[in-house]
Structure 1
Amino acid sequence: MSNTPISRLDTTQADFLARLDALLAFESSTDDAIEAAVADILREVRTRGDEAVIEFTRRFDRLDVASMAALELPRQVLDDALASLSAAQRDALTQAAERVRIYHERQKQESWEYTEADGTRLGQKVTPLDRVGLYVPGGRASYPSSVLMNAVPAKVAGVKELIMVVPTPGGERNPLVLAAAAITGVDRVFTIGGAQAVAALAFGTRTIPQVDKIVGPGNAYVASAKRRVFGTVGIDMVAGPSEVLVISDGHGDPDWVAMDLFAQAEHDELAQSILLCTDAAFIDRVHASIDALLAGMPRRDTIATSLAKRGALVKVRDLGEACDIANRIAPEHLEICTADPRALVDRIRHAGAMFLGHYSVEALGDYCAGPNHVLPTMRSARFSSPLGVYDFQKRTSILDISPEGAQTLGRIASVLAHGEGLQAHARSAEMRLR
């Protein structure tokens, strides 16, 4: 008898889809107190700039600073952080950055044009963003991988200036995060965080220039601030809890599957870990592995709560049904742990990232495989994609219409413009007609 609470579902149950949808339901509810605080912070920073940033940094991060100059880290501090790492850490960070760069180099989009028979030339110009802001959690939190996954594609895209903000509560700096900034070529680093950092990047201050886009994860205050400044600047996404879906045909090691479920569940209590499996006996073995391995996990309380609240072990009829359910879930991470995982790839339409085979563990994608780990959550893989070079480029249409082309297009436009009741549009086109 397994002891660890986790939902056990079977697709033959009459209420299966209702139970699955209830399990997937996640409302990114907003806290009124947080929303009010963020609105106030944004208003103050927009109005008073550096002065407000300094005040909020003193209050929230307990830093006794008198000027913005004290909050910007010189390049030497980043280089010193890199030098302070052990050889193993420095080598791992460097290798991961290089693998991420190589992968993202293939995503670069180029400008293009084509010429029609009458000499009209049409095309698209691809241009990198001028300036991007990168938010990185700070203090005891250590997310150098977040720096790599956001900074590298921005630099590959050709972004001219990358400004990183990272809070240092109580003056605590994380050397791995600063070292990652050094390796990826971040241009400026400010030790500020929270909604005030988002506001400074979005609106600009005397010291911090306004950026074109803000990327990177943060807490509820950061997420709220990013939602509110969208439109003034671009944002990457407002991400929900981390998710993994594992498809299994009953082959492989149940301990591996259990640990892969743990790897997502340890993020936080709202993370979601689901197994779809064709073999009921293997599901039992995975549940037994969960029981056996959980006690040895440092974050076992978080894992146990996550599995109990939002986890599931699901018996499916066959792998085809598993793929249909996977498309309904549209998971952030999808592990296909079957004898022939590539046979299922074309059946999957909605997933942030697919990990094929027993050795393609999601944790490798988080750190060093190469593809980006910033992925769509909360079923948004149905309509969105992983962060990439394309998120740091914009496209401009080019129309170079020849005199001959204007004769054909002008007559078409005239008819449509009159149909819409826009006579000036029609006349504008008609005036070019011979």
Structure 2
Amino acid sequence: MRTTDLRGRELTRGDLLSLVPRAALGADVAVERVRPLVAAVAERGEAALREQALEYDRVEGHSLRVDAAAVVASLADCPDEVRSALTELIARLRSGSAAQVPAQKTTEIGPGARITQRWQPVSRVGLYAPGGKAAYPSSVIMNAVAAQVAGVPSLALASPAQADNGGLPHQAVLWAAALCGIDEVYAIGGAGAIAAFAHGVPEIGLEPVDVVTGPGNVFVAAAKRVVSGIVGIDSEAGTTEILVIADGSADPSFVAADLISQAEHDEAAASVLVTDSAEFAGLVLAEVDARAAVTLHAERVRTALSGQQSAVILVDDLDTAVRVSNAYGPEHLEIQTRDDERVLTGITDAGAIFVGGYTPVSLGDYLAGSNHVLPTGGTARFASGLGAHTFLRPQQIIQYDRAALAATEAPLLALAGAEGLPAHGEAVSARFEQEGS
């Protein structure tokens, strides 16, 4: 991992935004690459999806829509310990997600005048689960449970076809779908899946959705940007990233293990350590070298950690570390310091925050009860992670009786006249014309 030394420098927020490490492939470049893929699916439907499956997944001749019976039957091959773990994940996530559903609330504006605030779920959601270098049954559950808790009545799931699974999505993805009760599943991956959700594919019975959610690489995130406006999206969740704020009190083996855990996702994954201790940074780097050499995906980890998106950043103090983190807007932020709560109070921009040495990001990936579908690439500075709230729309229901409306007539007429919209006022006055005559 390269080291960036910011000590002794007076840096503005603009300076920090330009200095924090990022992947070389920007979203704008990815958007231009996926725009033709999205357009092809919109125009040619199934034919375009099959061409893309052959080119990117090396699969052809498979059924794009998975038979519902095959989804349920997949559970026969699910090991007991995995099924138990997935079931536990579902239960914990349901509890965590339920807290994100606001209660309906009625406000009395005055006698006979009230506004009711309710949260209405969207009608149909398309859930995407990646299927590249690893299987993500946990991502299926993160998306599905949040939508179900919100009350979404129609869910469809897409995940790339696997050549070694007969053109079906990864077996573990099917397990998760079955346990969540999802029977509308498609063997479609990448930008094509996002386009199919947005535009629909009548030939395979795929109706358009209202919202598309789910993680993926930078091209999946770019496809979401392309279809945004046609459908809603959760966030542009691209390749994973972790930023750790740590000082000399932290355990370097913990920090090193956490940096590696996210680097194993993808060669473009970002792992960043921000610390005020050069000595501690050296200890972490030594641990990283030792652990990375023996982990299963050693080559992938080395590529990710040596890329320009990963770094150790040296700062003068933890206040500066907080400023660096807020400028970065990490998907996953870990805080491991002598005074975690003080550091936490300064954090404003992060997808999810993991506090203390015994709260690793991998806990959030699986069993914390929080959702692991989070904004990446700095979008945590203005976007949130996935939750039940993603699938809910606030709606105001306004109810006034005759007397309550009458009380507003004079000021409403004044405002309508001031804006040069007299018919607005007349729409109120018309309700009292008979009384006046």
- Equivalent position to 2:115, from 101, 118, 122: 122
1:144 and 2:137 matched: yes
Greater Cα offset, 177-186 or 158-167: 158-167
Deviations 1:347-373 (A, max 9, x none): 222211111110100011011111001
Residue 6 of structure 2 contacts residue 315 of structure 2 at CA under 8 Å; is this kept in 1? yes
Partner of 1:353: 352
Residue 221 of structure 2 contacts residue 238 of structure 2 at CA under 8 Å; is this kept in 1? no
Residue 241 of structure 2 contacts residue 376 of structure 2 at CA under 8 Å; is this kept in 1? yes
Q: Counterpart amino acid of 2:342?
A: A
Partner of 1:191: 187
Residue 28 of structure 1 contacts residue 240 of structure 1 at CA under 8 Å; is this kept in 2? no
Go from structure 1 to structure 2 and tell me whether the alpha carbon gap of 1:323 and 1:223 turns closer, same or farther (over 3 Å shift).
closer
* 1:15-30 aligned within 5 A: 18=15, 21-25=18-22, 27-30=26-29
1:285 and 2:278 matched: no
Alpha-carbon distance between aligned partners in 2 of 1:33 and 1:349, rounded to the nearest angstrom: 33
Residue 235 of structure 2 contacts residue 374 of structure 2 at CA under 8 Å; is this kept in 1? no
Residue 268 of structure 1 contacts residue 306 of structure 1 at CA under 8 Å; is this kept in 2? yes
Q: Percent identity?
A: 38
Alpha-carbon distance between aligned partners in 2 of 1:82 and 1:372, rounded to the nearest angstrom: 24
Residue 139 of structure 1 contacts residue 169 of structure 1 at CA under 8 Å; is this kept in 2? no
Partner of 2:172: 176
Greater Cα offset, 342-351 or 352-361: 342-351
Residue 339 of structure 1 contacts residue 357 of structure 1 at CA under 8 Å; is this kept in 2? no
Alpha-carbon distance between aligned partners in 2 of 1:162 and 1:241, rounded to the nearest angstrom: 24
Partner of 1:243: 241
Cα offset, 1:16, TM superposition = 9.2
Residue 11 of structure 1 contacts residue 314 of structure 1 at CA under 8 Å; is this kept in 2? no
Alpha-carbon distance between aligned partners in 2 of 1:30 and 1:181, rounded to the nearest angstrom: 33
* 1:92-241 aligned within 5 A: 92-138=85-131, 141-170=134-163, 171-173=166-168, 174-206=170-202, 207-219=205-217, 221-241=219-239
Partner of 1:63: 60
1:88 and 2:81 matched: yes
Deviations 1:359-401 (A, max 9, x none): 1000110111110011122222222212100111222211111
Deviations 1:381-425 (A, max 9, x none): 222212100111222211111222223333333322333222322
Residue 336 of structure 2 contacts residue 357 of structure 2 at CA under 8 Å; is this kept in 1? yes
- Describe the SS at the equivalent of 2:346: coil
Partner of 1:389: 388
Alpha-carbon distance between aligned partners in 1 of 2:290 and 2:51, rounded to the nearest angstrom: 50
Alpha-carbon distance between aligned partners in 1 of 2:40 and 2:47, rounded to the nearest angstrom: 14
Cα offset, 1:44, TM superposition = 1.9
Q: Counterpart amino acid of 2:116?
A: G
Cα offset, 1:153, TM superposition = 0.6
Q: Counterpart amino acid of 2:267?
A: E
Q: Counterpart amino acid of 1:283?
A: A
- Describe the SS at the equivalent of 2:237: coil
Cα offset, 1:225, TM superposition = 3.3
Alpha-carbon distance between aligned partners in 1 of 2:17 and 2:304, rounded to the nearest angstrom: 16
- Describe the SS at the equivalent of 2:110: coil
Alpha-carbon distance between aligned partners in 2 of 1:321 and 1:227, rounded to the nearest angstrom: 33
Partner of 1:311: 310
Cα offset, 1:164, TM superposition = 0.9
Partner of 2:44: 44
Alpha-carbon distance between aligned partners in 2 of 1:326 and 1:195, rounded to the nearest angstrom: 30
Residue 246 of structure 2 contacts residue 274 of structure 2 at CA under 8 Å; is this kept in 1? yes
Residue 410 of structure 1 contacts residue 432 of structure 1 at CA under 8 Å; is this kept in 2? no
Greater Cα offset, 12-21 or 125-134: 12-21
- Describe the SS at the equivalent of 1:276: strand
Partner of 2:406: 407
- Equivalent position to 2:273, from 275, 282, 286: 275
- State TM-score, norm by structure 2: 0.88
Cα offset, 1:304, TM superposition = 3.0
Deviations 1:189-227 (A, max 9, x none): 122334443333223343122221111133455434332
Alpha-carbon distance between aligned partners in 1 of 2:133 and 2:376, rounded to the nearest angstrom: 25
- Describe the SS at the equivalent of 2:27: coil
Greater Cα offset, 234-243 or 371-380: 234-243
Partner of 2:338: 339
Q: Counterpart amino acid of 2:178?
A: A
- Equivalent position to 2:3, from 3, 7, 12: 7
Residue 35 of structure 2 contacts residue 226 of structure 2 at CA under 8 Å; is this kept in 1? no
- State TM-score, norm by structure 1: 0.88
Go from structure 1 to structure 2 and tell me whether the alpha carbon gap of 1:318 and 1:199 turns closer, same or farther (over 3 Å shift).
closer
Residue 42 of structure 1 contacts residue 195 of structure 1 at CA under 8 Å; is this kept in 2? no
Q: Counterpart amino acid of 1:137?
A: P
Cα offset, 1:150, TM superposition = 0.3
Q: Counterpart amino acid of 1:357?
A: G
Ranges in structure 1 where 5+ consecutive residues have no aligned partner: none
Ranges in structure 2 where 5+ consecutive residues have no aligned partner: none
Aligned-residue RMSD, C-alpha? 2.6
Deviations 1:50-99 (A, max 9, x none): 5655665567653325xxxx443333322222221222211111111211
Alpha-carbon distance between aligned partners in 2 of 1:185 and 1:72, rounded to the nearest angstrom: 16
Alpha-carbon distance between aligned partners in 2 of 1:19 and 1:104, rounded to the nearest angstrom: 34
